Structure 1
Amino acid sequence: MASDRKVHHFEEVEKHNTTKDCWLIISGKVYDVTAFMDDHPGGDEVLLSATGKDATNDFEDVGHSDSAREMMDKYYIGDIDASTVPTKKTYIPPQQAPYNPDKTPEFVIKILQFLVPLLILGLAFAVRSFTKKE
């Protein structure tokens, strides 16, 4: 397979996603693991779940042995063109609304958030004017 080594585009690698034709991207390299599908200790499902993406994190999270890493050399078929790999999307959790146990409509909460400070300020001025000594 040494003569087949080249730079692959993600779209090409993504198409090889079956037990009869399986390619993986790990650490910027492309591996044709089709011949290893039956022998993989985790089963072929693990390898198939790593297709269609950069599987580096999946591979590293398992903690493969040095001998497993050495074995990868015989499946190496080239490098991935990094510019063709889709960027990973960062999860941004939805913004939570303030706690609203009685399910008061949002517009009422906004009005109260505006009016309550004004009422307190008005009350402070009223108290001050009534208690002011002349």
Structure 2
Amino acid sequence: MATETKEYTYADVAAHDTKESMYVVIDDKVYDVSPFVDEHPGGEEVMLDVAGQDGTEAFEDVGHSDEAREILSKYLIGNLKRNENDPKPIKISQSAASSSGESSGGLPGIVYAVLAAALAAGGYYYLQLQQQQATA
């Protein structure tokens, strides 16, 4: 027995734009992410920026992992029934990407920190070898 998929209008989604009741549209699917707001690694502010709206571009621009997409799927409640006059997906600002700990390229800031540390360690090791060879 198949269950019927509920359809939501953009107005339905827009009515849920608070931390306590937050719907968001990603790829024309409607998600009730209210239970996840406090757990979101980027913080609640990032989610509030797209609450009650189409957050497809913001979601994609940040470069969410497969695990994040799997978590999102748990909150699916239906499909968006689009009308001609519906707003387009909103883009995430650079400051929102930075505050969420993600770079504009989609990699977490920690990846860049690890790469910088590895380059610094490699440079230090190289200089130590050069110094040993000079004294030998």
Q: Which residue of 1 aligns with 2:73?
A: 73
C-alpha separation between the residues in 1 aligned to 2:63 and 2:9? 27
Cα deviation digits, residues 63-91 of structure 1 (max 9, x gap) = 00001111111100000001266144xxx
Does the 8 Å contact 2:30/2:77 carry over to 1?
yes
Q: Which residue of 1 aligns with 2:27?
A: 27
Unaligned runs of 5+ in 1: 89-134
SS in 1 for 2:31: strand
Structure 1 pair 85/53, CA: closer, same or farther in 2 (3 Å)?
Answer: farther
The number of aligned residues is 87
Q: Which residue of 1 aligns with 2:59?
A: 59
C-alpha separation between the residues in 2 aligned to 1:87 and 1:34? 22
Does the 8 Å contact 1:11/1:84 carry over to 2?
no
Larger Rg: 1
Q: Which residue of 2 aligns with 1:17?
A: 17
Does the 8 Å contact 1:10/1:85 carry over to 2?
no
C-alpha separation between the residues in 1 aligned to 2:86 and 2:35? 27
Structure 1 pair 85/9, CA: closer, same or farther in 2 (3 Å)?
Answer: farther
C-alpha separation between the residues in 2 aligned to 1:31 and 1:79? 9
TM-score by length of 1: 0.59
- The Cα shift of 1:52 comes to 3.4
- The Cα shift of 1:51 comes to 2.0
TM-score by length of 2: 0.59
Q: Letter of the 1:47 partner, please give it.
A: M
C-alpha separation between the residues in 1 aligned to 2:85 and 2:52? 10
Identity of aligned residues (%): 44
4+ residue segments displaced more than 3 Å: none
- The Cα shift of 1:5 comes to 4.1
